[in-house]
């Protein structure tokens, strides 16, 4: 199997059918102990200081880890991807593109996926076969999600980790499915761990994953990871075709569509407050205005940049925010002092 890098969620069913092993470059970047080195590689190449760390990280990973084929999402994700792909092509890396069309019509989505299949020389029937095969994995991710918000046995971070991993199934569907099984078994046997505050994490996956543990210090937990959950396609069983599945995906399309799903989950999961994470220099920070306007629930907006841990100021903001939300819940939190 040939490796192929992806910059975000794309129809991996197509890639797997084409006998490729998809690798989510974001995950490689952020889980590396020397993630800073990847950023360095990009900055030395001339990527501006004022560009997003994810973009630079992906670039560094491609160069350092000998990725020689990559798919970038040109529409619906990051506007910087186009330039990233161009620079990568200079390095002799084979590039492909995929789009989640702005129009968000089923017809256009179908068109895009058909183009994608053609590019990788696969037929719809073999893609469908993989889609059906992946249903098992998607179902297990859903189970983990339920163990998080219904049974309180899975932490926000674990939830984040497993949901996000569905973007590439860690490069190997069989062993990933086994890992999910093992985890579910282990989690089911745990005691419930209920915290007073139920939080939603919305926005791009964080550079600063310590956020999850930090929040749990304060009698709070994330019971919803918006985008990570979308990566796992939780409504896969309502789709009859691969086209419908990728049509029913909130994040790359317009915000109103995303909001409808958000609202549904906020009420279903009894969310008290939201932490909205965006990346420095990303257009998604502007979306914060829209989301805050449309959602009637306290939202704390935090921004990450190049460091993978929370800075002191952000910690203080989170602490004070949670403290006040706890007040409204009638909980006396002794852990928060001056």
Partner 1 sequence: MKVLGIDLGSREVKIVLMEDHTIIQQQKMSTMNFYKNYCIYDKTLKVDIEKLGIKDYEKGISTGYGRNNTDLNTFKAINEIKAHVYGAKYQTQLEEFILLDIGGQDIKIMKVEKGVMTDLELNEKCAASCGRYLENMASVLEISVEELSHYYKEPITLNSTCAVFSESELIGKIAEGVSLEKLCAGVNYSLYQRLRPMLTKFKGNDLVISGGVAYNKGVLEYLKQDYNKIIQLKEPQYNGAIGCCYYGIKYA
- Nearer Cβ to partner 1, position 1 or 324? 324
| CB of 244 vs partner 1, minimal distance in Å | 36
The correct pick among 64, 104, 235, 284 for binding ligand SF4 (CB under 6 A) is: 284
Give the Cα separation of 70 and 264 in Å (integer): 35
HSE (CB half, 13 Å, CA atoms) of 326?
21
Contacting residues toward partner 1, per CB under 8 A: 273, 292, 296-301, 313, 316-317, 320-321, 323-325, 327-328, 330, 332, 336-338
Min dist CB 338 to partner 1, Å, is 5
Tell me how far, at minimum, the Cβ of 268 lies from partner 1, in Å: 21
Choosing among partner 1, ligand SF4, none, which partner's interface includes residue 122 (Cβ < 5 to 8 Å by kind)? Answer: none
User: From residue 24 to residue 63, what is the string marking binding to ligand SF4 with x (rule CB under 6 A)?
Assistant: ----------------------------x-xx--------
Applying CB under 6 A, the span of 76-84, 116-124, 157-165, 170-178 interacting with ligand SF4 comes to 76-84
The CA-based angle 99-102-103, given to 5 degrees, is 120
Residue 189 binding result from partner 1, ligand SF4, none, given CB thresholds of 5 to 8 Å by partner type: none
Tokens standing for 205?
Answer: 């996956």
Please state, in angstroms and rounded to a whole number, the distance separating the CA atoms of residues 322 and 314.
12
CA–CA separation, 122 vs 119, rounded Å? Answer: 8
Distance from C-alpha of 247 to C-alpha of 227, rounded to nearest angstrom: 15
Q: 167 and 12 in contact (C-beta within 8 Å)?
A: yes
CA angle 40-75-296, nearest 5°? 95
Residues that bind ligand SF4 (CB under 6 A): 52, 54-55, 77-78, 80, 204, 279, 282, 284
């Amino acid at each position: 199997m040939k490796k192929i890098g992806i910059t975000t969620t794309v129809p991996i069913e197509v890639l797997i059918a084409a006998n490729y092993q998809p690798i989510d470059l974001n995950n490689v970047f952020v889980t590396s102990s020397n993630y800073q080195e990847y950023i360095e590689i990009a900055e030395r190449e001339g990527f501006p200081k004022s560009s997003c760390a994810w973009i630079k990280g992906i670039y560094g990973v491609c160069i350092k880890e000998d990725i020689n084929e990559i798919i970038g999402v040109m529409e619906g994700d990051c506007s910087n991807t186009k330039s990233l792909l161009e620079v990568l092509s200079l390095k002799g890396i084979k590039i492909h593109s995929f789009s989640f069309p702005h129009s968000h019509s089923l017809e256009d989505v179908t068109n895009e996926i058909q183009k994608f299949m053609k590019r990788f020389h696969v037929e719809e029937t073999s893609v469908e076969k993989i889609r059906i095969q992946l249903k098992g994995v998607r179902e297990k991710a859903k189970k983990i999600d339920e163990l998080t918000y219904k049974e309180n046995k899975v932490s926000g971070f674990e939830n984040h980790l497993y949901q996000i991993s569905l973007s590439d199934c860690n490069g190997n569907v069989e062993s990933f499915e086994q890992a999910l099984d093992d985890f579910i078994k282990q989690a089911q046997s745990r005691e419930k761990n209920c915290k007073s505050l139920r939080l939603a994490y919305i926005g791009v996956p964080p550079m600063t994953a310590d956020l999850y543990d930090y929040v749990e210090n304060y009698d709070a937990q994330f019971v919803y990871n918006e985008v990570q959950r979308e990566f796992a396609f939780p409504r896969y069983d309502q789709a009859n075709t691969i086209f419908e599945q990728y049509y029913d995906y909130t994040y790359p399309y317009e915000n109103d569509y995303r909001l409808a799903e958000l609202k549904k989950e906020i009420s279903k999961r009894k969310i008290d407050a939201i932490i909205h994470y965006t990346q420095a220099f990303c257009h998604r920070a502007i979306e914060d205005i829209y989301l805050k306007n449309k959602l009637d629930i306290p939202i704390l907006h935090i921004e990450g940049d190049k460091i993978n841990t929370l800075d002191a100021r952000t910690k203080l903001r989170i602490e004070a925010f949670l403290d006040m939300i706890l007040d409204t819940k009638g909980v006396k939190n002794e852990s928060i002092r001056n």
